[in-house]
Structure 1
């Protein structure tokens, strides 16, 4: 029987200091784990790392990364566009091969327990790993962000973490640890239009507002440019090409115009199928410098990245 493979895509609340992010990535170097991708976003002040391999090894790598992030990131002085509750903000486990979502949820529970035991970082479980129905959606867990959650915990016991005391780590906050299927983090800049237009477009897109199934979206300002920032949680039901077409249509409604796309992390090969044989779909053609060998998951599994050392800085 083929060996199981699980992916983990932890997000860290630091996207400006290469030294810090490199140290966190280095902490994830565990036997049996491959480094597939890592990137930094200064405007969102966030970094995203993708690793894959044997489930227990991947869990250990993620646990160590949370501990290193807690040492190096102080949320009391951290600011960025992206909402966050922790230094290691989200730690999702994703089944890739010969592994079920239920097994990924059990792995998340194991990782969360070790995060709390080793580092004193409280843990909330979300999506398939959620232990309460009101914590399935990440946005509900992260409501109020680090500062708001700190205040809420003092007055509302229903917001206490699943693991840990009734307060956050003083500088590292809490981590949301979960299990889910593939998620595509895809953003579109507006070539014409302002933040108000981006927010209106995002509101129309969001599944929670009656928009497209499995789409989470928000309008943000990145380096002075309006952006529709999206997570597509089920690309098989709602293909990214349909999301791209919807954004283009909505920009016209809101007196705006779609510009370049941006892909954060990796994308499964099945999401890259074009209606035109042999060509990349339009939404990927509009992502500058998109490289299939670097950004398609299956390609990276065959040819992973080298782990960084003291002499290596990320190409961002």
Structure 2
């Protein structure tokens, strides 16, 4: 799995476009770094950059940006709404894929050490990288902000983790560390900064101070007025969006605003947001409003609409959801072919793609036909009596169709793994042992893929029976073809399991796998006949 780390440096400059652009260019021009977002705020006088790369390149990107800030930002002239204490105020590293939190701690330490040495500026470590508990939370580190640094740095308890302990009036100090994905989120208030701050105090975890906690855990927040929007905002950091999701914060702000007699007009995400956070919001509104929405794209659209994420600027999912941004095109050379090209590829003088890929394609088409009939039945007035059945069937069949398609290419890839094993040398006992182990592992992979096809196909039968029983009878031939195609796809996958099992020496593995495959095959035969019998009774 490719290692991807997110870095979200916050610089104390949101008004000088030349400086903002120069920092962005430094990140963008770092080989291996991908700049995802630049979010500048004039009122806060702060710009949040979001970029990704592997563990090595994110360090280089952060260093490149820090070099520009060292040259162009002077904290002696900085004023803004947001708390701050350094030119590069914070620089967190966040694990995205294939990376642990511990690795991100190491990345933060390496970045701090290199930047402190090269730029001669001080660094604190915070969050997961903190070496003392009292330095873990950013608000504790920032207490007194930039103006309080001369006195604070004289206190031995607040010596920097890296770099000189003397106050640098031009730079201030930087906090770097590792943390989970933090969502910077603002809810728009048609009121004053004071009213927004009152709401934030009631909701944020710290509340109004000792003995007066707020209602929502893992929330840091305050209120301010944004001149360019001519709006007040409850501005929060959701430090664990699974504990307090976006939609929960939004709905709680609406309740608090209603008590004050002020309006809420949408919200905004600052920077990038995880897909899961918006899906959680979508599922909440689907349940609350009794909606039927099953496609991911429509769920995202619903969440954006209900949260008012387009209120101050267009929210473009492909540019704001991190999974969409970093996603690489799936390696599906067969599934991406036209139908003609796919058939011609099967017919070519080569052993792959063969029966396994064809079986997966047939199973996918069989399930897809069931999904089609269910969708054609749903929403039609004369089928109002069976809408509940279609609402149960559609998400299952839609999802399984999508999960079966990648099995077309997976089967060919598994076969190629086995062929790679055949090419290994076999001149010595050790080479023969290694080759045999590789061949057996290749065969197990070649078995696992068609067995997965069988399992996925098997999961479709109950809903396909529902479609046969309640779906539009004018589409009965589609249901019949779907059942036969699914049965044949499962039968073909079974044959691939059996033929690849011949080279397996592991007797326990053979017994368990063939037993499971046999059950799935028999169920396919029985369920197919059940579907066909139901359709016959509806002629």
TM-score if structure 1 supplies the norm length?
0.91
Are the structure 2 counterparts of residues 65 and 263 from structure 1 closer, same or farther at C-alpha, using a change threshold of 3 Å? same
Task: Identify the residue that residue 36 of structure 2 maps to in structure 1.
Answer: 36
User: Which residue of the partner structure matches residue 99 of structure 2?
Assistant: 99
Give the equivalent residue in structure 2 for 1:313. Answer: none
Is 1:235 paired with 2:272? Answer: no
Q: Distance in 1 between matches of 2:196 and 2:44?
A: 16
Secondary structure of the 1:27 match is helix
How does 1:41-120 map onto structure 2 within 5 Å?
41-120=41-120
> Whole-Å Cα distance in 2 between the matches of residues 283 and 69 of structure 1?
35
1:284 CA drift (Å):
4.7
5+ residue gaps in structure 2?
208-212, 287-292, 329-539
Q: Secondary structure at the match of 2:225?
A: strand
Query: For each residue in 1:44-100, what CA deviation from the matched residue of structure 2 results, as whole angstroms up to 9, or x when unmatched?
Result: 111111111111111111022112111100000011111111111100000000100
Give the distance between the partners of 2:324 and 2:308, measured in 1 at CA: 16
8 Å Cα contact 1:120-1:169 kept in structure 2: no
Question: How many angstroms apart in 2 are the aligned matches of 1:149 and 1:206?
Answer: 26
8 Å CA contact retained: 2:105, 2:178: yes
Shift of residue 285, structure 1, vs aligned partner: 4.4
The equivalent residue for 1:23 is 22
Matched with 1:296 is 321
Any conservation in 2 of the 1:263–1:287 contact (CA below 8 Å)? no
- What corresponds to 2:192 in structure 1? 194
* Distance in 2 separating the partners of 1:48 and 1:257: 28
Unaligned runs of 5+ in 1: 304-316
**CA deviation after TM superposition for structure 1 residue 9, in Å:** 0.5
- What residue is the counterpart of 2:444 in the other structure? none
Q: Aligned ranges for residues 150-189 of structure 1 at < 5 Å?
A: 150-154=150-154, 156-189=155-188
Q: Distance in 1 between matches of 2:311 and 2:5?
A: 27
Q: Does the CA contact (< 8 Å) of 2:269 and 2:309 recur in 1? A: no
Give the alignment's Cα RMSD to 1 decimal. 1.5
1:283 to 304, 307, 323: 307
Which residue does 1:214 correspond to in 2?
218
Change in Cα spacing, 1:269 to 1:108, as seen in structure 2 (3 Å) is same
Where 1:3 maps in the other structure, the secondary structure is coil
Would you say how many aligned residue pairs link Structure 1 and Structure 2? 300
Q: Greater CA deviation, 126-135 or 157-166?
A: 157-166
Given that 2:33 and 2:57 are in contact with CA atoms closer than 8 Å, whether structure 1 keeps it comes out as: yes
Higher share in strand: 1
1:186 Cα deviation after fit: 0.6
Matched-pair contact (CA < 8 Å) for 1:160–1:167: no
Q: Secondary structure at the match of 1:91?
A: strand
Residue 152 of structure 1: how far off its partner (Å): 2.4
* Deviation for aligned residue 1:236: 1.3
Q: Name the one with the larger helix percent.
A: 2
* CA radius of gyration, larger in: 2
**Distance in 1 of aligned mates of 2:177 and 2:167:** 18
